[in-house]
Amino acid sequence: MGSQESLDLDCGKFYTEYILRCSWIERNGTPEIWDVVRRYREFCAIDILLREKYPARAQMFPYLPSKKYIGSSLSAEFVDKRQRDLGYYVMSILHSCPLVRNHASYDCTVWYYLTVFSLLLCSLYKTRSLTRS
């Protein structure tokens, strides 16, 4: 897992994107490897969706690292810590929750998150945040 700083063209502010290296072994044994770039709010979106999709297992899911930080959320120290914590979060979801791991190949929530740029997830997360207020 790595990270990069990007500029939000809508508001002109910088933010951090986290880079996940994903791998998948095809049925014929061929490995597929790709990188996925996600903002913190996209991790929040997948967390909400997974907890809603698997409510009986939600207590097994790890907690996301804190969004709040005293100082700059772009500081190297903060980004490094969050990067490690997000890596732990993803690995914990995929390794300690068999329901998610075993169904990832056809679970659209996880598969979509790991393969396609998830504008839909961001939109869904924003909509839910607005309607829950």
How many separate domains does the chain show?
1
Report pLDDT digits (tens) over 41-85: 888 888 888 888 778 878 888 888 887 666 666 678 888 888 888
pLDDT of 126: 40
| DSSP one-letter string for the chain | -EEEEEEETTTTEEEEEEEEEEEEE-TTS-EEEEEEEEEHHHHHHHHHHHHHH-TTTGGGSPPPPPS--SS-TTSHHHHHHHHHHHHHHHHHHHHH-HHHHHHTTT-HHHHHHHHS--HHHHHHHHHHHHHH-
Which residue is listed with tokens 């597929």? Answer: 32
**pTM exceeds cut of 0.75:** no
> Is residue 122 included in any domain, yes or no?
yes
What is the widest separation between alpha-carbon atoms in the chain? Answer: 49
> Is residue 29 included in any domain, yes or no?
no
Q: Which of 26, 47, 56, 55 is nearest to 92 (CA)?
A: 47
- As a whole number of angstroms, the distance between CA 113 and CA 129 comes to 19
pLDDT at 34 over 80: no
pLDDT of 133: 33
Q: Which two tokens stand for residue 27?
A: 């049925």
85: amino acid identity, one letter: D
For the domain that residue 126 is a member of, what is the CATH number?
3.30.1520.10
> Is residue 10 included in any domain, yes or no?
no
> Is residue 67 included in any domain, yes or no?
yes
> Is residue 6 included in any domain, yes or no?
no
> Is residue 106 included in any domain, yes or no?
yes
- As a whole number of angstroms, the distance between CA 106 and CA 11 comes to 36
pLDDT at 7 over 50: yes
> Is residue 3 included in any domain, yes or no?
no
Confidence label for 123 from pLDDT (cuts 50, 70 and 90): very low
> Is residue 58 included in any domain, yes or no?
yes
Domain enclosing residue 96, as ranges = 40-132
